[in-house]
Amino acid sequence: MTPQDYKKRLRKSTTEIVNTSLLFLESERPVTYSQILEATGKSETDKDIGRTIGGILSTLSRTILDGEPFIISLGPDASQGKEGKRRLLWKLNPKVVSEDSKSDFQEAAREVLEERK
C-alpha cells in the first residue's frame, strides 16, 4: 500500500484513529495503554474510556494493509501491575510499513490531521 492509499483510508477514520495510527508510526518501542490514552486526548476518568481504547485497538488490529494487520499484540504489559494482565502492549506490524517508507506514512497521517483543523 502506498502512503497516498493509506491517506485516503485515514480520511474515513475518526480523529482518534488517525492520532493513534500516527503514534504507532512514530514509536520505535511497543505502545502502551497510557500512550494511546494520551494520543486520543482522553482521560482515565472519561466515561467508557476502556471501551474507547478497546475500539481503537480493535479497529487498528483489524485494519488489513497488504494482507497484514496494521498493528500486532505483543502480550500483557507487565509494567501495569494487576492491570497489565488485561492491558496489552502493541506495535506497528513491520511487514506493513517498512522503515524506508515510515516517514511517508507519518506525513500522510499528519496531513489528514491538518485537514481537520
Which domain CATH number covers 110? Answer: 1.10.10
Range of the domain at 44: 3-115
Query: What is the pTM for the complete model shown?
Result: 0.88
Instruction: For residue 73, name the pLDDT band (cuts at 50, 70, 90).
Output: very high
Q: How many domains does the chain have?
A: 1
The arithmetic mean of pLDDT across residues 96-101, rounded, is 90
Beta strands in the chain (DSSP E): 64-65, 68-69, 71-76, 88-92
CB 49 within 8 Å of CB 16: no
> Does residue 83 have a pLDDT over 80?
no
Mean pLDDT (the chain) is 90
